[in-house]
Amino acid sequence: MREQVVLVDATRTPIGTADKATVHTTDTPLHLAFSCWLRNADGEVLLTRRALSKIAWPGVWTNSFCGHPGPGEAVADAVRRRATEELGIAAINGLTEILPDFRYRAVDSSGIVENECCPVYVARLAPGAALNANPDEVDSWDWVAPEELIRAVDATPFVFSPWLVDELTDPRLRRALTRDGSH
C-alpha cells in the first residue's frame, strides 16, 4: 500500500489525502508532517544527512528525522513509526511536543516545495538502542552538542535544511535541546 499524507487547510483541518510519492512537487499542497530531534544520554543531538536519492534537499544536513502521519494516525504514533523506518530505532523515550504550531513553506534549488503544518518533537534515544539508518532516507549522521549546532546554524544557515533553521529560531526548541536532557 502506498503511503498517504493528510492534506489540511490553513486552520489545520483535514480536507483529504494524497499519495506521498506524488505530493511533493513545485506546487505542494499544505499537509501534515512532523519533525523530531533525538538526544542521546550525553545530551547530544542527532543530525542526519538526507540521502542523495531524496526528491527534496538531497544530501542536506537536517534534524534527526521527519515524516508524515497517515490518515487517522496520531502524530506521536507516526513519530515512533518513523524512528523505526528511518533510523532503525525500536524505541524512543520522553517524546515531548515542543512546537505544536510550527508551519513552514520552503522551495529547494530544483523547485520542489515543502509546505507543511509540522509539530516539532524532542525525544531521547532509549538505553541500549543503536542506529541502523535506512540508506534510502539517511546518507550519514553524527551526534553533536546542541550549543555547537546552534552556533553553526547561526553562522551558516545555508548549510542546513530550511526547516531545521526555522525550527531553531524558536527559543523554546533551543531551550529544550540545551538543557540537561530531562524533558
Is residue 31 annotated as involved in ligand binding?
yes
116 catalytically annotated = yes
Is residue 68 annotated as involved in ligand binding?
yes
The total of other beta-carbon atoms located within 10 Å of residue 6's CB is 20
Is residue 183 annotated as involved in ligand binding?
no
Would you state the cell numbers that stand for residue 67, as one nine-digit string?
515524516
What's the Rg (C-alpha) of the chain?
15
Q: Which residue type does 20 have?
A: K
H helix or E strand, kind and range, residue 171? helix 171-178
Nearest to 167 by CA among 159, 180, 182, 177: 177
Q: Give exposure, 99-135, as e/b (b: 16+ Cβ within 10 Å).
A: beebbbebebeeebbbbbbbbbbbbbbeeebebebee
Residue from 3, 36, 44, 66 carrying the catalytic annotation: 66
Nearest to 24 by CA among 60, 54, 62: 54
Decide: residue 40, CB within 10 A, 0-12 exposed, 13-18 middle, 19+ buried: middle
Residue from 36, 44, 73, 116 carrying the catalytic annotation: 116
36 catalytically annotated = no
Cite the active site residues.
Answer: 66, 116
Q: Which residues are annotated as a binding site for Mn(2+)?
A: 24, 31, 68, 114, 116
Q: Which residues are annotated as a binding site?
A: 24, 31, 68, 86, 114, 116
Q: Which residues are annotated as a binding site for Mg(2+)?
A: 86
